[in-house]
Amino acid sequence: MVATPIHLRPSATELGNEEILRIRNDFPILDQMVNGQRLVYLDSGATSQNPISVIEAEQEFYEQRNAAVHRGAHFLAVEATEAFEDARASVAAFIGAEWDEVVWTSNATEALNLLSYSFLNAGLPGAGSEAARFALGEGDEIVVTEMEHHANLIPWQQLAIRTGAVLRYIPIDDVGTLDLEKAAKVIGDRTRIVAFTHASNVLGTINPVEQLVRLARSVGALTVLDACQSVPHLPVHVKALGVDFAVFSGHKMLAPTGVGVLYGRSELLNAMPPFLTGGSMITTVTMEKADFLPSPQRFEAGTQRISQSIALASAVNYLSETGMERIHAWESILGSRLVEGLSEIPGIRVLGPAAGEDRLGLAAFDVDGVHAHDVGQFLDSRGIAVRVGHHCAQPLHRRFGLAATTRASTYLYNTTDDVDALLEAVAAVRPYFGV
């Protein structure tokens, strides 16, 4: 089963199959065979692959500049520090932020926990008057959405439990989009934090950030944006969006694992109490007390993920040179082809907006009568890599009466042939299992 071709003749400014094939040459892992078949990698929503330039950027650091940053006056230490901070500036520019508004973390999950624990610490003795604005208490409310990844749900659940605050959520409709009328009722005078995903890792839904920010601002609430599925795939300018905080992970945008980013408005970061304490985040230490550096260093205790940050900057450069508008446009074509093709296969239920709607280039689907894990193994036998399970979004799956789905997710190195290979294989799943 192959979808009807959609916009397969891109203009000179658009990406197309021919250019994608050239891009694929930059990704050595894509050349391999899996189970005797050409690898079709459709799991970039979980972890993307790395171009040679990113791999070489990290290797070059270890070969020529390996040293601790901010801690030495010798040549290598100075070189390492400059490369580390240049990387911060590059990533900041990529999302439209200032350099001191980018905090390195190990991943987006850590970044979200940094926020929740910092807000928890704001209510403790000795946090200071500036931190009081982040302290929560009984009757205060934290608002999330029904489509959140666990990383943007559990930290807020825990913060609510520990402070006496109430956790509320904005529901979704049967299509998989937020109910904005109900959002306006859920976000109220007691709301202190509104945390929501920019784009769903299951539904592909791209949320109306500006409208949610407007609702939050009208009641004086802070906004936290999970940008893990948006920053790698479409142009994101945090200042234009108006969010107070945003998080994303390097490994979903061509960079290595072990590095993520917390963006925060500088005046907020500098008022927040630290999450981790120790070396490299202080100004003066006595046996009785310590004074902390301003952001971003106040949130970067200990030895940092130096090589990974430098590699993330290289990934950002690769994405910028390719063009984020072009990447988003191409993935929209792939996503429409994917959703339309899956919807035409008997016994397949696709979650999220229909083909042609503004959505990510991914699709989570249920195969009637076949467990998602069995679907994944069948596809793997044909060299097709997808994700199976609840994708760290159990409440969302429960909303649709499912325990698990199979998810195919595209990126800038995928062709229409990759999508068609998946569609052909999915069409064979139910017959293979005798359903």
What does the pLDDT read at residue 118? 98
Beta bridge partners of 388: 406
What does the pLDDT read at residue 71? 79
State the Cα–Cα distance between residues 19 and 14, nearest whole angstrom.
Answer: 9
What does the pLDDT read at residue 72? 82
What does the pLDDT read at residue 8? 36
Q: Give me the residues of the chain with pLDDT under 50, please.
A: 1-12
Phi-psi group of 195: left, alpha or beta (phi > 0 → left; psi -120 to 50 → alpha; rest → beta): beta
Q: Structure tokens of 431?
A: 């017959």
Helix (H) or strand (E) holding 110: helix 108-121
Q: Structure tokens of 22?
A: 């050239």
State the Cα–Cα distance between residues 378 and 294, nearest whole angstrom.
Answer: 52
**Active-site residue, selected from the candidate residues 34, 46, 293, 392:** 392
- In the chain, the largest separation of any two C-alpha atoms, in whole Å, equals 72
What does the pLDDT read at residue 10? 40
What does the pLDDT read at residue 355? 87
Query: What domains lie within the chain, and their CATH numbers?
Result: 17-51+323-432 (3.90.1150.10), 65-320 (3.40.640.10)
State the Cα–Cα distance between residues 27 and 41, nearest whole angstrom.
Answer: 11
392 is catalytic: yes
What does the pLDDT read at residue 356? 84
State the Cα–Cα distance between residues 20 and 5, nearest whole angstrom.
Answer: 17
Angle at Cα 302 formed by Cα 298 and Cα 303, nearest 5°?
Answer: 120
pTM above the 0.85 mark? Answer: yes
